[in-house]
Amino acid sequence: MAGVDSATRAATPSLPWKTKLLVTGLTIAIDCSRRSNGTVNRRLFNFVDAKAPPSTKPINGVTSSDITVDPSRNLWFRLYTITRLSAASSAADDGDAKLPVIVFFHGGGFAFFSADTKPFDDFCRRLASELQAIVISVNYRLAPEHRFPSQFDDAFDTLKFLDVNDGVHLPQYADLSRCFVAGDSAGGNIAHHVTLRASTNHPEFKKLKICGLIAVQPFFGGEERTESELRLTNVPSVNVERTDWMWRAFLPEGSDRNHEAANIFSGRDVSGVEKYPATMVFVGGFDPLQDWQKRFYEWVNKAGKEAYLVEYPHAIHGFYVFPELPESSLLITEMRGFIQKHS
Ligand SMILES: *[C@@H]1O[C@H](CO)[C@@H](O)[C@H](O)[C@H]1NC(C)=O
């Protein structure tokens, strides 16, 4: 894919001032809310984490509603439904078009944000509208109040809920046999783990079939420091100090970053997992986590699975929630091609 010549590589990304301001604001909010003793000042963070309500009134042809999976742990998802099929898809399918389902896990280092966080709400609506898909954005529990494996359990239980209820909460034209699991950052890590769990231990899904995994800048790590982690110390969004904090908040107390949830490469690969689906990995040239993400792509590829690496040399970690960045639209175009190919 797009190769980056180190001679042409700038030291810092050039971003529109509005994007820079937003990224800086969010980063400061996270830094001020995460305490050195490993807890999160939720009151402070919620103050800056703007939430969006669901909307029964279509916005860009998409309505949304919140559906409870398990009230005892506040597990729910936001469902995005298309009200107006695009001319292309309705003509092609003669009126009874069935739409693929994207199950999405938001990022935030396992510890921040939620399915109703405004930038994620906007992003999921955009996915539904531009990909002509049903989108399910899962509100999993957060660390450190809930550590590993709570997030993976919530993710898996949501898939099970969708399968057991046979799409009863979904519009009739949702096609659970064309399901794509997607996530960004920590959500990309969750997407991998839940896909692995669904492909390994629980082949008994009746209806739900995972046709692809879309990992957008997935959050993986380990004790090792990679070249990109050491080099990109002064870029917007993430750095080693922040990601180390996130791992400490998420992983079981006493474990290091070589824990299997972070360093998946230390364990068995997916070559023996027959059902592990085609995988697409997105990487940004200004993301300190990119070496781990490329390793993920290679790890899937070497295991004999269909894998794609898409690299945006100028992209920072989290670029996709900023529609003003050109890579944000390129990402959606790539996702569309991947979903069409694997439907
Ligand atoms: C962490 O620090 C906060 C604020 O100083 C305090 O309220 C909280 O009890 C501390 N938690 C732990 C587990 O030490």
Q: What tens digit of pLDDT does each residue of 202-224 get?
A: 667 989 999 999 999 999 999 99
DSSP 319: G
- For a ligand 1 pocket test, name from 32, 39, 44 the mutation site with the most ligand atoms within 8 angstroms of its C-beta: 39
Q: Which of 40-54, 66-80, 94-108 has the lowest mean pLDDT?
A: 94-108
Q: Report the pLDDT averaged over residues 68-74.
A: 97
The pLDDT value given to residue 203: 61
7 pLDDT more than 50: no
pLDDT confidence of residue 211: 98
Q: Cβ distance 181 to 210 under 8 Å?
A: yes
Centre of ligand 1 from the C-alpha of residue 109, in Å: 20
Atom number in ligand 1 closest to CA 37: 1
Tens of pLDDT, residue by residue over 276-286, are: 999 999 999 99
Residue 43 has pLDDT above 70, yes or no: yes
Give catalytic residue positions: 185, 287, 317
Per DSSP, helices labelled H in 49-98 are 87-92
Q: Does the Cβ of 37 fall within 6 Å of ligand 1?
A: yes
Atom of ligand 1 nearest to the CA of 39: 1
pLDDT band for position 12 (cuts 50, 70, 90): confident
Q: pLDDT per residue over 89-138, tens digit each?
A: 554 454 468 999 999 999 999 999 999 999 999 999 999 999 999 999 99
In angstroms, what CA-CA distances link 229 with 8, 139, 153, 238, 274? Answer: 19, 29, 29, 10, 33
Q: Could you tell me what percent of the chain has a pLDDT over 70? A: 92
35 touches ligand 1 (CB under 6 Å): yes
Q: From atom 4 of ligand 1, which residue's Cα is the shortest distance away? A: 35
Cα of 36 vs centre of ligand 1, distance in Å, is: 9
- CB neighbour list of residue 163: distance below 8 Å, 6 or more residues apart: 176, 205, 206, 207, 208
Instruction: Kindly state the average pLDDT of the residues 328-336.
Output: 98
| pLDDT tops 60 at residue 1 | no
Give the CA diameter of the chain. Answer: 58
Backbone Cα Rg of the chain = 19
Query: Do 314 and 252 contact (CB within 8 A), yes or no?
Result: no
User: What is the amino acid identity at position 44?
Assistant: L
* Percentage, residues of the chain above pLDDT 90: 86
Predicted TM-score of the model (pTM): 0.94
Q: What is the pLDDT of residues 141-189, one digit of tens each?
A: 999 999 999 999 999 999 999 999 877 889 989 999 999 999 999 999 9
Q: Is 42 touching ligand 1 by the criterion CB < 6 Å? A: no
Looking at residue 85, what is its pLDDT? 64
Distance CA 197, CA 149 (A): 12
d(CA 51, CA 241) in angstroms, rounded, equals: 27
Residues in the chain: 343
Give mean pLDDT, residues 35-56: 96
Q: If pLDDT is split at 50, 70 and 90, which confidence band does 296 have?
A: very high
Q: What is the mean pLDDT of residues 315-332?
A: 96
For residue 329, name the pLDDT band (cuts at 50, 70, 90). very high
221-271 pLDDT, tens digit per residue, is 999 999 999 999 999 999 999 999 999 999 999 999 999 999 999 888 999
Q: Has residue 306 got a pLDDT over 60?
A: yes
